Amino acid sequence: MKLGQATIKDIARELNVSSSTVSRALKDYPGISDETKRKVKELAAKLNYRPNAIALSLRKSRSFTIGVIIPEVVHFFFSTVISGIEEVANSRGYNVILTQTNEKYDRERSSIETMLSNQIDGFLVSYSKETQDFDHFSNLLDQGYPIVFFDRVPQIPKAINVMVDDYRGAYDAVSHLIRQGYKRIIHLAGPKNLAISKERIRGYRDALTDHGIEVDESLIVECPLGTDTESRKITTEILKSDSVRPDAFFGNNDMAAVGAMLACKDAGLQIPNDVGIVGFSNWQFCSMIDPGLSSVAQPGFQMGAKATEILLDIIEKKLDPEQITESVTLPTELLIRKSSVRIKN
């Protein structure tokens, strides 16, 4: 079995020195003769010595591990964020322990508990759709635990937030649609308790008014699930109703946009000539579907990387959390594909 992992004591015994000496020799501390250092290192290599990180954590009350709490892993955007987190954490010598909440408030809380038990050095959090109050996070902050929120960020004191410019992204997308001549633009919106949904709605509104179009509240339709199936159904309903037909859809996410696209095709409408569509997130499939789906790209990898950098800087006291007063906002980029560009004739 996996017994026999050599420890400092083993080396010490074999060499007839104390553990202290071995420890210091391995770390090249002053006050140890070169001869001893050589012998210790040699034996360590021979025995394939590996420091016990657990013992170290206990001693130092630091685990060199950060905890990531995320709604779901199976989600293109979040997976890119994780990738960014992983890269930075790894390169700076930290481990990443991951839990997904599946959008459940209870799991969010219990994840925090187990992570605390595991003496996590800090948290990286994107909260669940179910979460309505943020006391569990506020408590952590009050106790001095470093937390950096990303994407889905709470409005609570002392929180450090990394997000993308949802407002600008939405604003750009809708402005683009207007410039293409679309006038009756539906917004397939996200759950209204998420700040990101609100920001995108705000961007939608402002783009319309800034271009002299009055906002028709009935054109803002909530798609709480954000799946293609849901929005396909909703869109089909809309197209069937006897009100004036919309001529464009701006989705809170790409899935919603695709659902709308499919519903429009079902209804025999031509995209982009009859209906223009823009999504949000720029999932991989945007470039794979026909017509290509215009979308607002969110820099997921950078977001994960940035959030992790800030977190680790705080943990390592290179950064004082008090000094960070405003959120970090990463730019979005509107990628224009065929779904929203009217073909001239």
Closest alpha carbon to 279 in 205, 195, 169: 169
Dihedral-angle region of residue 151 (phi above 0 means left; psi in -120 to 50 means alpha; beta otherwise): left
Q: How far is the CB of 116 from DNA (least distance, A)?
A: 11
Specify the pairing of strand 294-297 against strand 333-335: antiparallel
Q: Which is nearer to a copy of itself, 115 or 178 (CB)?
A: 115
Strand partners, 281: 297
Q: CA nearest 67: which of 105, 106, 110, 104?
A: 110
Look at the block and give the residue holding tokens 């271009």.
211
Contacts (CB under 8 A) with a copy of itself, residues 19-58: 50-55, 57-58
**Which residue, 244 or 288, is less far from a copy of itself as judged by CB?**
288
Q: Give me the least distance between CB of 35 and DNA, in Å please.
A: 6
171 binds a copy of itself (CB under 8 A): no
Query: Segment contacting DNA (CB under 7 A): 57-65, 137-145, 272-280, 295-303?
Result: 57-65
Provide the residue type at 229 as one letter: T
The answer to whether 215 contacts DNA (rule: CB under 7 A) is no
Residue 23 binds which entry of a copy of itself, DNA, none, CB below 5-8 Å type-dependent? DNA
Examine residue 19 and tell whether it contacts DNA (CB under 7 A).
yes
Interface characters, 287-306, with DNA (x: CB under 7 A)? --------------------
62 contacts DNA (rule: CB under 7 A)? no
Which candidate, 28, 26, 31, places its Cα nearest to that of 11? 26
Q: Could you give the CA distance from residue 290 to residue 271 in angstroms, rounded to a whole number?
A: 9
| Cβ count within 10 A of residue 240 | 9
Candidate residues 20, 284, 318, 327; the one interacting with a copy of itself per rule CB under 8 A = 284
Using rule CB under 8 A, residue 119 touches a copy of itself: yes
Asked if residue 313 lies in contact with residue 286, where contact means CB atoms within 8 angstroms, the answer is: no
Q: Which of 28, 45, 132, 144 binds a copy of itself (CB under 8 A)?
A: 144
Residue of 1, 13, 14, 24 interacting with DNA (CB under 7 A): 24
- The values of phi and psi at residue 299, to 5°, are -80, 80
Query: Would you give the binding string for DNA spanning residues 28-47, x where CB under 7 A is met?
Result: ---xxxxxx-----------
Distance from C-alpha of 124 to C-alpha of 300, rounded to nearest angstrom: 14
Distance CA 137, CA 226 (A): 26
Size of the site for DNA (CB under 7 A): 30
One of 42, 55, 109, 114 touching DNA (CB under 7 A): 55
Q: Applying CB under 8 A, which part among 20-28, 112-120, 127-135, 239-247 lies near a copy of itself?
A: 112-120
DSSP string over 130-187:
T----HHHHHHHHTT--EEEESS----TT-EEEEE-HHHHHHHHHHHHHHTT--SEEE
Among 54-62, 130-138, 170-178, 270-278, the segment contacting DNA (CB under 7 A)? 54-62
**CA–CA separation, 135 vs 120, rounded Å?**
19
Contact residues for a copy of itself, defined by CB under 8 A: 1-5, 50-55, 57-58, 63, 65, 72-76, 79-80, 82-83, 86, 90, 95-100, 113-114, 116-119, 143-145, 228, 255, 258, 262, 265, 283-285, 287-290
Contact residues for DNA, defined by CB under 7 A: 5, 7-9, 16-21, 23-24, 26-27, 31-36, 49-52, 55-56, 58-61
